[in-house]
């Protein structure tokens, strides 16, 4: 694949763990375990092909409303895999970052997240941005509160200043958002940032998602014309003809 055509930032809504397990007569947590195992390969490939940022939707703010047993399994798995991957992040140069509402997280995972972010902050490889306890609307509300606390005036409210107040400050918007499991919705993922993202939906359940399918999604992305509201000729594409304007 040509390096220049690789999306700088890929977001993945990793959905379908529960159905993967239910289809096999297994408890839902088995699906979450398998789902966590898939992450490693996808991080590795993304890093190898030159993706700059990989954002993984691991746990939404609405997911707190699931049965408490399932919530504690998911949070436990996140904690365990963070501890387990720490040395690999250092070896691979991965910079780890969490977006989402930390106030709702238990203390132990919060401190593991903070330590991992701190220790990996000067790494120069892939930025792995994990959305945990994340909701796009919640993120926007927290940004507005920050703006008010910083006494920003109405004129100070711009696309740039809002972007800087979001959890994703300093990170380019996602070029490509992939959702597994056949659902075709954002479920509150990166609402502000996805304004001009390309979407790739697949029926594959997250525990079955492979690097081949990631490459397939990127290939499809490379065929798209991203016009950003302009006409093709302004983007240097070879399809625009005369215009009435
Ligand atoms: C995605 O899988 C993981 C989380 C939301 C934490 P689901 O648990 O939503 O799986 P389905 O959608 O029920 O199959
Ligand atoms: C979205 O999946 C959140 C994650 C993948 C972490 P959900 O399974 O929670 O979304 P809905 O409920 O189907 O919209
Ligand atoms: Mg789901």
Say which CATH number the domain at 46 has.
Answer: 3.40.1180.10
Residue 241 lies inside a defined structural domain of this protein: no
Task: Please state, rounded to an integer, the average pLDDT across all residues of the chain.
Answer: 94
Which own/partner contact pairs does 37-45 have at CB distance under 8 Å and 24+ positions apart? 37/207, 38/14, 38/206, 38/207, 38/209, 39/14, 39/81, 40/85, 41/210, 41/211, 42/12, 42/209, 42/211, 42/214, 43/94, 43/126, 43/128, 44/92, 44/211, 45/211, 45/214, 45/215
Q: Which of 13, 61, 187 to mutate to test the pocket of ligand 2 (most atoms within 8 A of CB)?
A: 187
Q: Is the pLDDT of residue 122 over 70?
A: yes
In whole angstroms, give the CA distance from residue 14 to residue 42. 11
Residue 156 lies inside a defined structural domain of this protein: no
Question: Does 179 show up as a binding residue in the annotation?
Answer: yes
How many domains, in total, are found in the chain?
1
- The pLDDT of residue 244 is 43
- Token pair listed for 49: 């092909």
Query: Does ligand 1 come within 6 angstroms of the Cβ of 18?
Result: yes
Atom of ligand 2 nearest to the CA of 183: 13
**Range in 79-83, 108-112, 237-241 the model is least confident about:** 237-241
**pTM, rounded to two decimals:** 0.94
In this prediction, residues 146-175 reach a mean pLDDT of: 98
Residue 143 lies inside a defined structural domain of this protein: no
Query: Does ligand 1 come within 6 angstroms of the Cβ of 175?
Result: no
Per the structure, the complete domain to which residue 32 belongs is given by: 9-135+173-223
Using DSSP's 3-state secondary structure scheme, residue 155 falls into: helix
**Range in 212-216, 223-227, 232-236 the model is least confident about:** 232-236
Residue 4 lies inside a defined structural domain of this protein: no
Q: Is the pLDDT of residue 241 over 90?
A: no
Residue 85 lies inside a defined structural domain of this protein: yes
Kindly give the distance from the C-alpha atom of residue 15 to the centroid of ligand 2, in angstroms, as a whole number. Answer: 6
Residue 123 lies inside a defined structural domain of this protein: yes
- The pLDDT of residue 240 is 37
Residue 168 lies inside a defined structural domain of this protein: no
Residue 2 lies inside a defined structural domain of this protein: no
Using a pLDDT cut of 70, give the percent of the chain over it.
94
């Amino acid at each position: 694949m040509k390096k220049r055509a690789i999306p700088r930032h890929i977001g993945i809504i990793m959905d379908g763990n529960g159905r993967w397990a239910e289809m096999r007569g297994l408890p839902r947590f088995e699906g979450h375990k398998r789902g966590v195992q898939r992450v490693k390969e996808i991080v590795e490939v993304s890093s190898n092909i030159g993706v700059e940022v990989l954002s993984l939707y691991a746990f939404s703010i609405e997911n707190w409303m699931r049965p408490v047993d399932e919530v504690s399994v998911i949070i436990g798995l996140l904690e365990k895999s963070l501890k387990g991957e720490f040395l690999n992040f250092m070896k691979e140069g991965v910079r780890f970052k969490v977006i989402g509402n930390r106030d709702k997280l238990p203390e132990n995972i919060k401190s593991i997240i903070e330590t991992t972010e701190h220790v990996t902050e000067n790494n120069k490889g892939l930025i792995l941005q994990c959305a945990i306890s994340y909701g796009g609307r919640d993120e926007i509300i927290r940004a507005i509160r920050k703006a008010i606390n910083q006494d920003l005036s109405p004129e100070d409210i711009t696309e740039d200043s809002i972007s800087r107040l979001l959890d994703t400050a300093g990170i380019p918007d996602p070029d490509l958002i992939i959702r597994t499991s056949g659902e075709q919705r954002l479920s509150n993922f990166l609402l502000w940032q996805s304004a001009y993202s390309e979407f790739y939906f697949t029926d594959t359940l997250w525990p079955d998602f492979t690097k081949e399918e990631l490459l397939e999604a990127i290939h499809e992305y490379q065929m798209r014309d991203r016009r950003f509201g302009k006409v093709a000729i302004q983007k240097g594409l070879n399809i625009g003809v005369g215009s009435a304007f």
